[in-house]
Amino acid sequence: MSLIRKANMGDRKAVQQISADAYTPAYMAVIGAVPKPAMEDYGPRIVKGEVWLLEVDKAPVGIAVLEEHSDHLLVYSIAVTPEAQGQGHGTALLRFADQRAAAAGKLEIRLYTNQRMERNVALYRDYGYIAVGTRPHPSRPGEVLIDFVRKVPPS
């Protein structure tokens, strides 16, 4: 049985491990660098209520980091442990983001990813996100981010 719940400080180590395990191999293979979410201290985000933990049979396998802004919800991170990838957990976390955005009265969800992360780009497009532009990566010269938007589906 799976459950998505708000992370608490007791989950901090698991959250950071899931993020590191999910991001590091994928980004190292494609970009040759570890992205910020893999190294981030999630404590402040947990305290702010931005981190959600996906558990399957009470084992933590994924996270969603959702930032609420005045006019949209930003999906800062979706991460699933490598051994749990390919089982629909990433899509479940994206659906959860839809639900959170609707509950908060947001009309739009935004996210961004490195254009070279083709698997992520495909997942977001398949889920209904629309690429609305590109921009230089703020901390990795030569890299490009794709900005995506999705209208919050009616509940």
Residue 143: predicted pLDDT? 95
Residue 153: predicted pLDDT? 85
DSSP alpha helix (H) spans, 31-144: 36-39, 43-47, 89-103, 118-127
31-62 per-position pLDDT tens digit = 999 999 999 999 999 999 999 999 999 999 99
Q: Check whether 131 has a pLDDT greater than 80.
A: yes
Domains with residue ranges and CATH for the chain: 2-151 (3.40.630.30)
User: What is the distance between the alpha carbons of residues 112 and 18, in angstroms, rounded to a whole number?
Assistant: 19
C-alpha torsion 14→20→23→58, nearest 10: -20
Q: What's the whole-number mean pLDDT along residues 97-110?
A: 98
User: What is the distance between the alpha carbons of residues 113 and 118, in angstroms, rounded to a whole number?
Assistant: 9
User: What is the distance between the alpha carbons of residues 88 and 92, in angstroms, rounded to a whole number?
Assistant: 6
Tell me the whole-structure pTM to 2 decimals. 0.96
Q: Which residues pair with 3 in a beta bridge?
A: 55
